[in-house]
Structure 1
Amino acid sequence: KLGTVSVILENRTQTSRPEDKRSGWVGRGDVFVWFRVSAEEVLSSKMSPMQQDEEVGGEGGIEEVNREEADRRLLSKELENSVAAHPEDASLRFQLGVSLWENSGDSSESKEKAAEHFVVSAKYNPGHGPTFRYLGHYYCRVSLDSQRALKCYRRALAIDPDDSESGEALCDMLDSSGNETLELAVCKEACEKSPRAFWAFRRRGYLHLDQKRWSEAVQCLQHAIRGYPASADLWEALGLAYQRLGMFTAATKSYGRAIELEDTRVFALVESGNVFLMLGSFRKGIELFHQALQISPKNISANYGLASGLLGLSKECMSLGALRWGASLLEDASKIAGASAQLAGNISCIWKLHGDIQLTYARCFPWVEDDKMIQSDAKAFNGSLVSWKQTCLLAAFSSRRSYLKAVHLAPWQASIYADTAIASDMISSMEDEDSSHDLYSWQLQEKMALGALLLEGDNYEFWVTLGCLSRHTALKQHALIRGLQLDVSLASAWAYLGKIYREEGEKKLARQAFDFSRSIDPSLALPWAGMSADCLNRGLKSDEEFESCLRAVNILPLAEFQIGLCYLALLSGNLASSQVYAAIMQAVQRSPQSAEAHNLNGLACEARFEYESAVASYRISRCVMHNSSCKSSKSHFRDITINLARSLVKVTIERCTLSECFLFMYLGMLDTEGMQIYAYALWKLGDNNHALVVARALAAAVSTVGKISTSAIVSFISRLLYCISGIDLAITYLLKMPNEAFDSTSVSLVVRAIHALDQSTRLQSTVFKQMLSPFFWCGGCRNELFDGTF
């Protein structure tokens, strides 16, 4: 600014200028250049040689400061002289005022002198906007005359709408006085006058954000960004406006640009993470929350968002079958939510989030076999089952405790009462209590559901919650019907109503309710499961029944649906399917206390030729039945033991098979299938005599079984006799069988095989009769040869 030569260009005609040795005016047509010698020459000319030597020997920093101060004083003095010579020159007045204003520091006296020159300058040149800007600064900061300051600022903006300094100062004064409407009008007027008044568009966009006028805010902020493309505040504000409008993709881009310009923008990181959570991109949201916590480790919003993201990601993992991974994510989320509750224990939403995490953990915590000892050691299995149950129960208690804390902080929020009711219902279902409850007493879950309805009686979701949690059938039906009265298109209410009707034996009403629910919302799992269970009344085939249940499992992988899917797969011949195998494995992890789940898991393993795993599942199933408080039928125990014996035979553990069959004989529960397994195990161990004894007993029981079982018994005895006593005894046995016994594929194949080995052709007539049988020519025998059963 100040150097050896300083020039000031004046675009006007001058006829005379003062002459001075150190300054002068040189004419160049209509332009005159006023020059001056630097302050260094002036000072040096006035200093003695000794003073000059001392000055040269001083410190460089002090010398520079003194030089600049001298230059400023000299410039002010010269401007004063020029103003004195030309008192009506508005430009010189303005320059002198600026010099006094900037060099005054905190001196109010110098600023008052500067203001006098600004007033005179404005008098001679009323169209100069910066003059009114400095006058506005004086009245606002020095004399504290707000009315005059407002007038000066507005005059400056009227002259130059692009003057951001005057505009911001005027808006700051209006904002401090609470006159937001006038502030918005000023910005609007500047925007209409000049499209380059970017400060006005920015300020106007911020005001629209404050007033929640998101569409107008987007337009103004977009225009302001043209003038301030590197402003992280503008990009952040634009992202917020997009977010409130539901334009989440545009919001993430705006937030991302703000983060690129300034990577420490915690608000942009947190809000961008929230948007990604709403879009279902949990991993990206978690990454952004981690970045925010690196900048501000104790930020409540970032911790809350991180815990929410982990909860969403865990649900996504569990829906894909990764139960262990989902449980580990929930453990991390619980720690973060707990730490947030310690930082801000008076915020109800944090406690509610902690309750949601713990409730999900209690529902989805998987039972895992620690080692192979569990498969054969009943004590180890019981210990693992008790540990699993305690973990789930403690998580449910923690969930209810967090919900109650949230209720204490925000008793007006009805949804928290409903959450507390759900947690209480889960606790009561997991605790070892007597199944008989007093029908005239209200349970805790019912009371909490009623508490939600007392606050919001017209909320149909709370009526559905009461209908699902109540133990009174009449109250269930009333609550669900009340929910349908409030919203007839409520698919969940129709589905649960159909479940109630089915439990009460009203199958026609149940079918109608399930049909209504499925037509309203096909993505609901319960109607598909109900249609699968009602296949006989609907006239559906077994494959259609299986497909309906499979769809229910894909929509909502509940253990009950998965067990039903495996049972239908057993009936339809789809037990070896990978979908069925994955479903029953998840069912075992979710419900290890279910003997039926372990039994079906064993059948699925057996269908996949995994006999050792099948043996372990059958043993665990029997162990669960022994420990179960409810009474299991003898037929169930017999079926599981037969399955176990069959699998033991297939893994060549005949002695274990014999012990199981001896147990059956002792209990009087050895049926024809068990006798076949028993005889086969005796033969494998070389005890042929006892095997023949069991075979005779089995042959005597042929008349008491059905046609399918008769064919299986005849085929088995024929092969066993051939292996033990030779072809003669087998032929003798077959010749005694009636012709109806040879209609089966398995028996027909055995007869033909033995006939091929018999040189005497004693079974020629039997084989000839089979060829003349209508069963052979209708294709039943030939088709069964290729269906995979053989």
Structure 2
Amino acid sequence: MKEFDKCLSPLLKAAKSDPNNYYCFFYLGQFYRYMKEYDKARRCFERSFKLCPNYNEASIELSKMYRILQNWDANIALLQTITEDQINKQNLWAWLQMGLILMEQGDYDEAINYLRSASRIDKKNSHCWESLGDAYLCRGAYASAQEAYEVVLEISNLALYPALQIALIKKDRNCLDEAILDFEALLTMNSNCVLTLTGLAETCLRKARVCYYEQRLGTARDYAQYAVESVTRAIRQCSEISCLWKILGDCCMLVTRLPEKYCCLMIMRALDEGIHVGGDKILEKDDLFQLAAKCYCKALILIEDKQFLWHDLAVCYLNQAENCEDRDIIRKLLTKAQAIIQNCTLTNPRCWQHWNLLGNIALASDPPNYALAQHAFIKAVILDNDCAIAWCNLGILYYKINKIELANKAFAEAQRADPNYTQSWIGKAFVAEIMGQDDEAIDLFRHSISLGFHPQGALGYGHWVCRKLMESPQNSSLYAIQELHAIPVACDALTWYTGKWQFLECDTYTIAFANDNVGQMAL
């Protein structure tokens, strides 16, 4: 009858009249639990369980009290007592709870064993399958986790949580097109779910990055715009989540790297102007840099662990400085970036990314601070000897100060750390040029093009193909040109490099190249 103020006295009298009646103590524990006197409730449930260990309801409530009071050892001891017997439908709950506790403590393999046993006994229990999927996911077994969540959907096709988890798993496994379709399907069921909108925005941002590296620049911009629209819808509902602002900042930063033709985004006016106005506006490169900085600053206000957000803000200021022509503004931006990243290195001196960024900022200064850059890059490679990025940057530094032998060693270390890192092969090609090893230079540039597009690789390979053709006798057959299809490969690479074409008749070949500075190899 919900008349709780009248419950206590008769329940106490009943327990006193028959101290061996487990049922009285069970209901007394229920009363104390409702009154949020959890310790008294725990003692009552313990008494009830002691009097009748086979009474499932008492053991279930006792386990709940241990969980509320965070008495993990007592809870595990209780559950181990119950799960000593062979699993059945009566003690199934204990196997499930044991698996959940082990998962919370990080013992994923043992948790999976308990949860798998529970799911075998009750194959229609969606809670068992959901928990099993969570355990697989925590262990990193994405395929098994997805299969478990799919079983949940077979049991209940309207369940949102497993469908969302499947979409997130596809995103993490880089099945981006499938993940986007799954997120869109979820939005048809609940158009205002912040988790779904966030997942869709993250997936679209990843897809935009993939398209950017594949030189599908227009498609990259379209996916970035889709990500902005999704994250904006999420921000409208819950603007106090820091990751939403970071995603928006990352979208802006990605688009700033695109050519001028695609370097624009449609942004909600209120996000840019900071006032309650309606409508949208188009932002181009300079405005996008400023909005990205605002987004990172907003995210910094909302989160405690700010280390990598400060890093992102420093990257934003560095990239903005590299795309600016006003020296005073450049100096201010680089000063801000250097101050931020130096503070990051003090906060976390074991992070190689901070030191690597500090080296890049030092190189971008006017004049370049080579001593600081060398110190920072060396610090980065000491912290992570297998970091191809830092080794390559160190090689570029030595190349710029004309220490070719040290540059060659640094580029070789970058190749060792990551044989597929394009820039290290381009660096080795620069060294080969300086040392007069022309054949090796063209081979290295060609290999860099086969790994992926990079402006310097495209420019370098196009230059050497043109040079080889101009230096070779008429009607001669060159293995590096004809057998390796150098001309179409160079044309494709330079097509990506620039949209401005000039045609040069060279003997029997028509060579397309970017501009009059095609032979310049300046970094």
TM bucket normalised to smaller: 0.7 to 0.9
Q: CA deviation at 1:532?
A: 1.5
Q: Does 1:448 align with 2:448?
A: no
Note the residue ranges of structure 2 that are not aligned, 5 or more in a row.
34-39, 263-281, 470-480
Equivalent residue number for residue 311 of structure 1:
205
Q: Distance in 1 between matches of 2:68 and 2:486?
A: 75
Structure 1 residues 254 and 495 mapped into 2: Cα distance closer, same or farther (>3 Å)?
Answer: same
Compute the displacement of 1:536 (Å): 4.1
Match of 2:489 among 552, 575, 579: 579
**Shift of the alpha carbon at 1:329?**
0.4
How far apart, CA to CA, are the structure 2 residues paired with 1:365 and 1:541? 32
CA distance in 2, matches of 1:406, 1:519: 37
Between Structure 1 and Structure 2, how many residues are aligned? 469
Structure 2 residue aligned with 1:393, among 266, 283, 286?
Answer: 286
Q: 1:448 to 1:207 in 2, by over 3 A?
A: same
CA distance in 2, matches of 1:156, 1:411: 48
Look up the SS of the partner of 1:534 in the other structure.
helix
Asked if structure 2 preserves the Cα contact closer than 8 Å seen for 1:136 and 1:152, the reply is yes
Distance in 1 of aligned mates of 2:69 and 2:289: 53
- Residues 479-510 of structure 1: CA deviation (Å, up to 9, x unaligned): 11222343444332221121122122222221
Deviation, 1:602, is: 4.1
Partner of 2:132 in structure 1? 238
User: Which residue of 2 is the match for residue 285 of structure 1?
Assistant: 179
2:398 corresponds to which of 496, 501, 521:
501
| Structure 1 residues 179 and 410, CA gap change in structure 2 (3 angstroms) | closer
Contact 2:322 2:330 in 1 (8 A): no
1:408 alignment counterpart: 301
**1:220 alignment partner in structure 2:** 114
State the match for 1:533 in structure 2.
Answer: 430
Compared CA separation, residues 488 and 153, structure 1 to 2 (3 A): closer
CA 1:318–1:604: 2 relative to 1, 3 Å: farther
Deviations 1:754-788 (A, max 9, x none): xxxxxxxxxxxxxxxxxxxxxxxxxxxxxxxxxxx
Structure 2 matches for 1:470-481, cutoff 5 A?
Answer: 470=362, 471=365, 472-481=369-378
| 1:430 and 2:334 matched | no
Partners of 1:397 and 1:134 lie apart in 2 by: 67
Unaligned runs of 5+ in 1: 1-103, 124-131, 369-388, 590-597, 623-631, 637-790
Task: Please report how far the alpha carbon of residue 192 of structure 1 lies from its aligned counterpart in structure 2 after TM superposition.
Answer: 0.4
Q: Partners in 1 of 2:260 and 2:153 — Cα distance?
A: 40
Question: Would you say the 8 A contact 2:26–2:44 is kept in 1?
Answer: no
Give the match for residue 343 of structure 1.
237
The alignment partner of 1:367 has SS state of: coil
| Contact 2:334 2:361 (C-alpha < 8 Å) held by counterparts | no
Q: Which residue number corresponds to residue 226 of structure 2?
A: 332
Contact conserved, 1:515 with 1:527, CA < 8 A, in 2?
yes
Q: In the aligned structure 2, how far is the partner of 1:344 from the partner of 1:605?
A: 62
Q: Which amino acid aligns with 1:401?
A: K
Residue 201 of structure 1 and its aligned partner are, at CA, apart by 0.3
Residues 252 and 289 in structure 2, CA contact (< 8 A), matched pair in contact too = yes
Q: Which has more radius of gyration?
A: 1
Which whole-Å deviations, capped at 9, do the CAs of 1:442-479 have from their partners, x for residues lacking one?
A: 63332232232232223222111111122222221221
Alpha-carbon contact 1:546-1:572 (below 8 Å) kept: no
| 8 A contact 1:208–1:216 mirrored in 2 | yes
User: Do structure 1's residue 207 and structure 2's residue 132 form an aligned pair?
Assistant: no
Quote how far apart the aligned CAs of 1:608 are: 8.2
Report the Cα offset of residue 315 of structure 1.
Answer: 1.7
Offset at 1:411?
6.7
Shift of 1:344: 2.6
Partner residue of 1:492?
Answer: 389
1:247 has 2:144 as partner: no
How is 1:334-373 mapped onto 2 (pairs within 5 angstroms)? 334-365=228-259, 367=261
Deviation per CA, 1:162-185, whole angstroms, max 9, x where unpaired? x64443234234445554432322
Paired position in structure 1 for 2:49: 153
Q: Are the counterparts in 1 of residues 426 and 456 from structure 2 also a CA contact under 8 Å?
A: no
Q: Provide closer, same or farther for how the CA distance between residues 512 and 140 of structure 1 changes in structure 2, counting only shifts above 3 A.
A: closer
Structure 1: which amino acid aligns with 2:380?
G
Pick the aligned partner of 1:546 from 418, 433, 442.
442
TM-score by structure 1 length?
0.53
Q: Tell me how far 1:428 sits from its aligned partner.
A: 1.8
Name the aligned partner's letter for residue 432 of structure 1. E
- Rate the CA distance shift 1:412–1:223 in 2: closer, same or farther, 3 A: closer
1:185 aligns with 2:77: yes
Shift of 1:309: 0.6
The residue number in structure 2 matching 1:168 is 60
Q: Following superposition of structure 1 onto structure 2, how do residues 667-706 of structure 1 map, counting pairs within 5 Å? A: none
Q: Find 1:483's aligned residue among 373, 380, 396.
A: 380
Q: Note the alpha carbon deviations across 1:209-230, whole angstroms, 9 max, x for none.
A: 3333322221111111122211
Alignment-mate amino acid for residue 284 of structure 2: T
Aligned-residue offset at 1:332: 0.7
Amino acid at match of 1:545: A
Conserved? CA contact 1:314–1:327, under 8 Å: yes
- Name the TM-score, length of structure 2 as normaliser: 0.78
Of the candidates 292, 296, 317, which is equivalent to residue 190 of structure 2?
Answer: 296
Flag the structure with more relative contact order, 1 or 2, with Cα contacts below 8 A and sequence separation at least 6.
Answer: 2
8 Å CA contact 1:201–1:224 kept in 2: the answer is yes
CA distance in 2, matches of 1:180, 1:516: 49
Q: 1:179 to 1:602 in 2, by over 3 A?
A: same
The within-5 A match list for 1:609-620 is none
Verify the 8 A CA contact 1:529 1:548 in the aligned structure 2. Answer: yes
Alpha-carbon shift at residue 560 of structure 1 (Å): 2.8
Tell me whether 1:521 sits opposite 2:415 in the alignment.
no
Equivalent position SS for 1:531: helix
Asked whether the equivalents of residues 112 and 136 of structure 2 are also in contact (C-alpha less than 8 Å), the reply is yes
Q: How big is the shift at 1:539?
A: 6.1
Q: Secondary structure at the match of 2:215?
A: coil
How far apart are the structure 1 equivalents of 2:172 and 2:85?
41
User: 1:278: Cα distance to partner?
Assistant: 2.1
| RMSD between superposed Cα atoms in Å | 3.9
- 1:458 is matched with 350
- Give the Cα separation in 2 of the matches to 1:412 and 1:204: 32
C-alpha displacement of 1:529? 0.1
Output the amino acid matched with 2:326: E
Whichever residue aligns with residue 288 of structure 1, its letter is: D
Whichever residue aligns with residue 316 of structure 2, its letter is A
Contact 2:317 2:334 in 1 (8 A): no
1:289, 1:306 within 8 Å by CA — same for their partners in 2? yes
| Cα distance in 1 between the residues matched to 2:405 and 2:313 | 35
- Aligned mates of 2:178, 2:333 — CA distance in 1: 49
Deviations 1:387-425 (A, max 9, x none): xx9833332332222122223334752222221222222
Task: Using the aligned pairs only, state the percent identity.
Answer: 18
Is contact 2:324-2:330 (8 Å) kept? Answer: no
